[in-house]
Amino acid sequence: MKWHIGIGAIVFATLLVVSQVTPHDTTQETILMPLLQQLDDIHKDINKSITQMQTLKSSQESLNQIILQQQKEIQSLHAQLHKFNQTLRELEHVINTTAQRTEFKLMELEQIIEHTNENTNLVLRKISNNKNQTLPIEEKDIYKNGTAFTNLDIKEKLKEIFPKAKIITSDIVYITPPIENIDKLEIFINWTKIPELEYKAELNDCDDFAWRLYSESKTHYSLLALGVAYSKNHVFNIIIFKINSTNQLSVYIIEPQTGSIFPFNETLPEYYREIEYVFL
């Protein structure tokens, strides 16, 4: 712009000189006319250059806006890429965790299958052996001098002793043998060889022992009031005996892992007293 001002000053000075030339001074007019023409051309060139500069400036501003927009888009892409990488890492962690859990579950399943196969073979061997063995106590002898009670009577008695428990009974008439028959029950339990089984945590533990004895009792003495009891930390068997001629009923605990039988009372450990479920 400084050079433009300078040219303008020259033009102004030239015009001032021309204005002082008299109309009759043709020599000076002849000299100045080409000069004025040149100055006019220069002025036009200057205006043209200014227009070009303005156009260039406008183009530069547009280019700057485009560059700024592209920079914003690049920043957005960077943010999306960062989020994608983070999601990918989280997904990888989930996949690894799931794979580990699946591996553990498969190992547990393999152990369960192995344990089931062992139990199946044991049962098959036992069935095979029992074909040649006589039941140690006949059904009529285990019920001898017993008294019949409906499932409602049995449930009411169990509710008195285990008020917080959910009692599940079969729709049958149960036989409660006299307490004098307890030795016959002990003989039967030992005959099943259940107390001789090996204890394995999570594979052959308290609930497995209890349900095996329950199954054996229902197979041979289906009316016996013998069931499975669940507390918070333990599973075992119970049986109801008739105490005297007045038909007073009493609940006894059966520990199938040892074959021991003992009466229920409030001095027993909590896992024998705080019963949650009874299946009879």
- Please tell me the predicted confidence (pLDDT) of residue 16: 54
Q: DSSP secondary structure string, 197-216? A: SPPBTTTBSHHHHHHHHHHH
- Please tell me the predicted confidence (pLDDT) of residue 237: 98
Q: Cβ-count burial of 139 within 10 angstroms (0-12 exposed, 13-18 middle, 19+ buried)?
A: middle
Question: Of 104, 133, 162, which residue is a domain's last?
Answer: 133
Q: How far is CA 113 from CA 117, 118, 124, 167, in A?
A: 6, 8, 16, 31
pLDDT tens-digit map of 223-245: 999 999 999 899 999 999 998 77
Q: What predicted TM-score, i.e. pTM, was given to this entire model?
A: 0.55
The amino acid occupying position 24 is H
48 and 123 in a single domain? The answer is yes
The residue to which tokens 């001032």 are assigned: 16
22 and 116 in a single domain? The answer is yes
150 and 251 in a single domain? The answer is yes
113 and 163 in a single domain? The answer is no
Number of CB atoms found within 10 A of residue 242's CB: 22
Question: Of 100, 133, 166, which residue is a domain's last?
Answer: 133
Closest Cα to residue 251, out of 142, 131, 162, 150? 162
155 and 97 in a single domain? The answer is no
125 and 144 in a single domain? The answer is no
Q: Which domain holds residue 48?
A: 1-133
Question: Of 133, 166, 199, which residue is a domain's last?
Answer: 133
Instruction: Kindly tell me if the per-residue pLDDT of 123 is higher than 60.
Output: no
108 and 169 in a single domain? The answer is no
118 and 22 in a single domain? The answer is yes
Contacts of 196-204 spanning 24+ positions with Cβ under 8 A: 197/122, 199/257, 200/115, 203/111, 203/112, 203/115, 204/115, 204/119
Closest Cα to residue 256, out of 173, 199, 189, 198? 189
Which CATH number covers residue 234? 3.30.460.70
Percent of the chain with pLDDT over 70: 80
94 and 155 in a single domain? The answer is no
**The total number of structural domains that make up the chain:** 2
Instruction: Kindly tell me if the per-residue pLDDT of 109 is higher than 60.
Output: yes
